[in-house]
């Protein structure tokens, strides 16, 4: 049995992390790309924990052995199959304790050389939290723009072209608004967000700048690191602009069109709009209620943009000091135009 460090795991493409914790633990906090081959199910983990509290360590260990023994051939076979693909499995649990040590020992007894992650997932998390601020490139190019101006589309197009984009909404699995979860599934928690952010920063390591959207500190269930917020405030700012009709169409096509007519969608929109009606200008509440009742979603979107989102965004924009380079999102050549601005920005940075 050999232990490897977190840095060795991250720096090698040969290794594949094998998480032997229960599925509930893996869902809550996983190393990206890891495979969950659990020693215990969620229910078995809970049972052993209860026995430990009531009857002590010795009784809990015995029960754990009774549960694991029949599973061993299948469990070890899964890890062996991974090894046959050419990858090098690295066993880990929460902090490199009994579970990963047991599995690694079983592998050794079966004649399969075993690698184990020193310190387990806990060591991995400590490592990435320390490294994230250090990996952030020096300068931020920040895309501002009101809801529906297509900032996410611009980021995705730029990333496909090889630019050092950091897509925070993708990492959070949330669009950053009250409607941000529609069609997205569950938002990522802080641990998952941090892991994906670390991976992306590691990918763009060596770049002198990064491109990012001007999100608020919290996106769904996750918050951005303070150093990133500082770099954004002191970054180079682009303001993406678009007409109301184009913005309405973008939002409709992303949030509404794929789910139109589905009961869950109508219920979710009704619930969220009803909450908004309670907190916004009462003069527009009747118009919102009518648009919702008639399922006139384009009208609903326009009312929310003009009377709710735009005023809030204008206020948030005051946090940043200009100048702001304007980008016309409705121009068919918007990607070429923004690339020209980036080149101009980079030449300016080089000249400083």
User: 117-140 pLDDT, tens per residue?
Assistant: 999 999 999 999 999 999 999 999
Q: How sure is the predictor about 350, in pLDDT bands with cuts at 50, 70 and 90?
A: low
Mean pLDDT of the chain: 91
Enter the tokens of residue 335: 């990607």
Identify the pLDDT of residue 160. 96
Q: With a cut of 70, say whether residue 176 has pLDDT above it.
A: no
CA dist 228 and 132 (Å) reads 9
Identify the pLDDT of residue 216. 85
Q: Which of 241, 238, 184, 242 has its CA nearest to residue 214?
A: 238
Does residue 135 contact residue 198 with C-beta atoms inside 8 Å?
A: yes
Tally of CB atoms within 10 A around 185: 8
Q: How sure is the predictor about 345, in pLDDT bands with cuts at 50, 70 and 90?
A: confident
Q: With a cut of 80, say whether residue 281 has pLDDT above it.
A: no
Q: Which domains does the chain have, with CATH numbers?
A: 2-129 (3.40.250.10), 136-350 (3.40.50)
Identify the pLDDT of residue 271. 87
The per-residue DSSP string of 15-57 comes to: EEEEE-S-HHHHHHS--TT-EE--SS-HHHHHHHHHHHHHH-H
Q: How distant is the alpha carbon of residue 329 from its chain centre?
A: 25
Number of H helices, E strands in the chain: 17, 12
CA dist 346 and 352 (Å) reads 10
Strands 2-4 and 115-117: parallel
Average pLDDT over residues 162-185: 82
Does residue 165 contact residue 140 with C-beta atoms inside 8 Å?
A: no
User: 302-320 pLDDT, tens per residue?
Assistant: 998 998 889 888 888 888 8
Does residue 342 contact residue 163 with C-beta atoms inside 8 Å?
A: yes
Q: How sure is the predictor about 258, in pLDDT bands with cuts at 50, 70 and 90?
A: confident
Q: With a cut of 70, say whether residue 181 has pLDDT above it.
A: no
Enter the tokens of residue 35: 């495979």
Q: How sure is the predictor about 351, in pLDDT bands with cuts at 50, 70 and 90?
A: very low
> Measured between alpha carbons, how far apart are the two ends of the chain, in Å?
53
Identify the pLDDT of residue 21. 96
């Amino acid at each position: 049995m050999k232990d490897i460090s977190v840095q060795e795991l991250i720096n090698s493409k040969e290794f594949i992390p094998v998480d032997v914790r229960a599925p509930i633990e893996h869902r809550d906090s996983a190393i990206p790309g890891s495979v969950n081959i659990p020693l215990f199910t969620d229910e078995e983990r809970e049972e052993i924990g209860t026995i430990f509290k009531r009857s002590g360590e010795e009784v809990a260990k015995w029960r754990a052995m009774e549960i694991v023994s029949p599973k061993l051939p299948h469990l070890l076979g899964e890890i062996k199959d991974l090894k046959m693909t050419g990858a090098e499995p690295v066993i880990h649990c929460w902090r490199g304790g009994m579970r990963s040590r047991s599995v690694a020992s079983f592998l050794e007894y079966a004649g399969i050389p075993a690698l184990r992650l020193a310190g387990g997932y806990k060591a991995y998390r400590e490592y990435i939290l320390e490294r994230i601020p250090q990996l952030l490139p020096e300068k931020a190019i920040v895309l501002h723009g009101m809801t529906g101006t297509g900032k996410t589309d611009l980021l995705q197009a730029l990333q496909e072209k090889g630019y050092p984009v950091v897509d925070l909404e993708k990492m959070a699995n949330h669009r950053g608004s009250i409607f941000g979860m529609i069609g997205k599934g569950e938002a990522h928690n802080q641990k998952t967000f941090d892991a994906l952010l670390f991976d992306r920063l590691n990918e763009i390591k060596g770049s002198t700048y990064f491109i990012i959207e001007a999100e608020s500190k919290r996106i769904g269930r996750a918050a951005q690191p303070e150093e990133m917020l500082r770099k954004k405030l002191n970054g180079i700012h682009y303001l993406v602009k678009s007409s109301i009709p184009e913005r309405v169409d973008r939002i409709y096509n992303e949030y509404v069109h794929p789910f139109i007519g589905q009961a869950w969608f109508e219920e979710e929109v009704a619930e969220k709009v009803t909450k908004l009606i309670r907190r916004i200008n009462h003069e527009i509440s009747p118009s919102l209620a009518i648009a919702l009742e008639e399922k006139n979603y384009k009208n609903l979107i326009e009312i929310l943009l003009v009377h709710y989102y735009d005023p809030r965004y204008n206020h948030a924009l005051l946090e940043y000091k200009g100048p702001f380079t304007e980008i016309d999102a409705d121009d068919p050549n918007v990607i070429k135009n923004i690339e020209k601005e980036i080149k101009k920005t980079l030449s300016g940075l080089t000249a400083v």
